[in-house]
Each structure stands twice: as C-alpha cells, then as structure tokens.
Amino acid sequence: MSERSPAVTAPATTRRPNVIVILADDMGYGDLSAYGNDLVQTANIDSIGRDGVTFTAGYSSAPLCSPSRAGLITGRYQQRFGFEQQVSSGAFPERREARLEDGSLAPLQGEAEFLRRGVPLTEKNIGELFKAAGYTTGVVGKWHLGHGPDFLPQNRGFDHSVVFHGNTSLQFTRIDDPEMVSLKVDFHDEGKDIAWTREGLNQIRVNGEIVDVDQYLMFYFRDRALDFIDQHRHQPFMLYYPMNSPVPPLQVPRVYFERLRDRIANINLRGYNAMLLVQDEVIGALLERLKLHGLDRDTLVVFVSDNGSAASRPGNNGPYSGGKYTTYEGGIRMPFMMKWPGHIPAGLVYDQPVSTLDILPTAAAACGVSTATAQALDGVDLLPYLTNQTNGSPHEVLYWKLAGYCAVRKGRWKLYLEPKNGIARLFDLESDPAEKTDLAATEPAIFAELKTLFEQWDQSLPPRAWTNISPVFKK
C-alpha cells in the first residue's frame, strides 16, 4: 500500500511556482541510498523524496537515452512521432560502418541523415509550452534530442541553453591530471578504441555557440544552473537539468575517489560511486540555492533517471533483472522523486506505476500552463493522486517498445516481448519483481489480454522515423 501523509494546504500566493526537472543519465534503481545503496549516502537527492514523494514503481518511457528524453519533454509516447531510437552518438569519430539490427553491416549514414533526426515540429515540448505561458526557460547539460536546426534547444522553446548535443562528453579533458581519476574502462560499452575527446556533438555550446570548458564538467553545469536560478529568481522559471552522470566515462576528482578507498576495493565500482557523491553534492547546491532565495517552497523539483544502468557497468539496478537497452525492470524502472512543499505531502511513498511521461502534465497543472496546443498527452497530472483527491492508479496500462524489446504492464502483470525472436514472458511483479518465473503457460487468459493490448497499441503507431545503428570500428 502507498504510505500517505495528510495533504497540506499552502498559503495563497500570486507567484506561479518554478519547476526544476533533474534527469540523471543511466542511473540504476538501486544507485541512491534511498533505494538501497549502502556504499554511499546520497542525502541531498534523497531529501527530494523525504520532503515530497518517493515513487517505488517509477518508469521511464524507454530503456535508452534519446527516446526516453523525447517522451519526458513531450509527455507523449515517443513512438507516436517515430522517435524510437537514438538520434546520434557523437562518441565515435573513427567509425566507418554501422551494424543494422539484422546484424548486417552498412556504410555509416551521412551527416544529412543525422540532421533530420529529432522531435518533430508538430510536437510541443516542455520548454515551448512553459515559454508560451510566460516562463523563463533553461536547459543545462546533455541534450541528445537532435542537432539539426529544427531540433536545437535554443530553437525549441529554451531561452537559455548550456548543453552538448551528443550522448556523452568528457567530464575533464586533461585525463593525465593527477588531481583527477580517469578510468579508461567500459566507456560506452564499445571497447578501448573509443575516442576520449570532447569534439563534434560533444562540445559544449552556450545558446548555440561553442565554448571551451576547462572546469570539471559536472561542476561547470552546476555553476550554469546556479547562475540561471540567480538571474531569474524574481520571475517564474522552468529549468530542465539533464545531468551527465553517472554515465561513463568514469572521471572524478581524486578527493571523492579517495574518500571511498577503504570502503570499495574495486576501482571501477569506486569510481562510479564517487561520481554519485559528486552528483549528490551538485544537486545539494541547487537545493541550497533555492533556499537562499526563499524559493524552496515555491519550486516543484523532480528527480528521475532516463533509463537503468547497463549490465556491463558498475551501476546498481536494485533487485531487478536486465538493464539499459532492455525492457526488463532493470532497464525501465527508475529512482523517481518529486517535491513541492505545501502541495505534495512530505515523506509520501507511492507504489502505483507512474511514468516520466507524467512529468510535463504534472508540472503544467502545478503552474497553470496550458497544454492545449500540444498533441494529446499520454502522461497524467499526478497531483490529485498524491493528495488523495483521486483514488486508483494513474495508469491502467503502460507500454514500451525499443526495436526488438517490448513490454506492457497492467496492474501487477507484465508481459515482456521480443517479437522477432518469438519470446513472450508473463510476470507477476507483485510476487516476482525480479522477473524470474514465466507464467505464460499457467495464466493464458492474462497472457492473451496483455498481448492483445500491446498489439493494438503497436498497430496504432506510425513507422519509426529511423533505425538504430551500432558502430563498428575501423580496423
């Protein structure tokens, strides 16, 4: 059952609330101390749930970076506009071929192909909707939603942008600096030939202009986010803060790495958890800045991850199977918290399934921002559910589709699908959250119901706008 505290009525105010959406990159369900990590304490991130709600069944809309972000910023299943796969990589300047999903090789698609990939202009995103409502809008961190002119943040509703366009960027370019630890291992799961550079899509851009950054990147983005809060503290603002952590490369200031030396022997695991310490400290700085300006009670703060940790990395997906790239729970069930003092009861633990698709409609409802110009949203406003105004579950059914990996959840039941491989497995998530026991044979009626639900949803979708590629390195 969900643990509910009495709802609190906030005093009337003429100022509309601010919104900060913090998105971690490849953070597993069990990476935070609030979700069971006993290697490090993430007290600042945990405080978001302590002062608001911690979701135990919070899902991303995809187990992969780009499509997950597309769903979050639009509040719609990204498959509805063909956005099923990554828009680009940016980390592989030496690649010459691509591996298609059938395993065959093809010449790498040209720049024109990548420039057409992104959230189409027919879709409204959180920046566009909030800007139209009079909010000052900003994005700081990893964009990864397209780098053609139609898809750049400064052209899609964000007044201020400090971003890199690709999938990852070096935290620090001087990898031989003795004050830094750079673990040149398991970077993007692609082996030793990965480029340790900050070039092309992974250069830092301020409102579209390339800038040189010598500072540790997580700290640089922290400072730009703090600047945004400082500069716009007297007007309502919406800040989208997609962080570049804890995704590899594992680069961390040595002082954080050494702090865990006696606790964690494995250097990769130590480096990963040291990055979590940095990330927690950075988020703590944002929360403190809100308090400094007296904005902490007037700001809706959301924290979530885009997808789970890859199974090959030191991340912790908690008790769940699978990881990034898969639609098992480890790939799609996320640490997810939200606070808005005086409106969301403090200390609430909510166990009904919710989705990153719900972030936009919840924020819009909190701020009185109209979504009438957007396409029909799949996400829902969670506030009535969190304040006992509405009973039941926000979602009767949730769907996932990423190339050959699919899933549908209804209540306690989840159907995992790999259609091309003829795999269909039914799980009871209440009794088997780790998805170990396939009940397809013993629950044929439930199996058939969920399979039909997924097929009907899948048939309602347009063809995907582009296919995925897996880089093959030049020999």
Q: Which pLDDT does position 403 carry in this prediction? A: 83
State percent of the chain over pLDDT 90: 77
Which stretch of 84-93, 121-130, 434-443 has the lowest confidence by average pLDDT? 84-93
Residue 471, pLDDT > 60, answer no
Q: Which pLDDT does position 89 carry in this prediction? A: 59
Q: Which pLDDT does position 9 carry in this prediction? A: 36
Q: What's the chain's average pLDDT?
A: 90
pLDDT-derived band at 88 (thresholds 50, 70, 90) equals confident
| Termini Cα distance of the chain | 56
Compute the average pLDDT of residues 17-35.
98
- Of 59, 32, 7, 56, the C-alpha closest to 349 is 56
Which stretch of 76-80, 167-171, 396-400, 407-411 has the lowest confidence by average pLDDT? 167-171
Question: To 10 degrees, what angle do helices 217-231 and 267-292 make?
Answer: 10
- The CA distances from residue 335 to 76, 184, 256, 304, 394, in Å, are 20, 27, 23, 6, 18
Residue 90, pLDDT > 60, answer no
pLDDT-derived band at 318 (thresholds 50, 70, 90) equals very high
Compute the average pLDDT of residues 329-342.
98
Q: In order of start, what are the domains of the chain with their CATH numbers?
A: 18-395+468-473 (3.40.720.10)
Residue 29, pLDDT > 50, answer yes
225 contacts 286 by C-beta, under 8 angstroms? yes
Residue 136, pLDDT > 50, answer yes
- Of 219, 205, 365, the C-alpha closest to 286 is 219
Query: Residues with Cβ < 8 Å from 283, sequence gap 6 or more?
Result: 22, 44, 45, 48, 303
Residue 260, pLDDT > 90, answer yes
Compute the average pLDDT of residues 115-142.
95
Distance CA 140, CA 356 (A): 19
Residue 325, pLDDT > 80, answer yes
Residues identified as active-site: 65, 144
Compute the average pLDDT of residues 338-361.
98
Residue 12, pLDDT > 50, answer no
Token digits for 60? 């991303």
pLDDT-derived band at 7 (thresholds 50, 70, 90) equals very low
pLDDT-derived band at 465 (thresholds 50, 70, 90) equals confident
Rounded to 10 degrees, the C-alpha dihedral 363/357/27/283 comes to: -10
- Of 300, 250, 240, 292, the C-alpha closest to 275 is 250
Compute the average pLDDT of residues 313-318.
93
Residue 5, pLDDT > 70, answer no
pLDDT-derived band at 10 (thresholds 50, 70, 90) equals very low
Residue 473, pLDDT > 80, answer no
Q: Which residue has the higher pLDDT, 185 or 386?
A: 386
pLDDT digits (tens, 9 = 90+) for 161-185: 999 988 888 899 888 899 999 986 5
170 contacts 244 by C-beta, under 8 angstroms? no
What pTM, to 2 d.p., does this model score?
0.92
Compute the average pLDDT of residues 9-22.
75
Compute the average pLDDT of residues 415-433.
97
From the CB of residue 235, how many other CB atoms can be counted at a distance below 10 Å? 12
Phi, psi of 160 (to 5 degrees): -135, 130
Q: Which pLDDT does position 4 carry in this prediction? A: 38
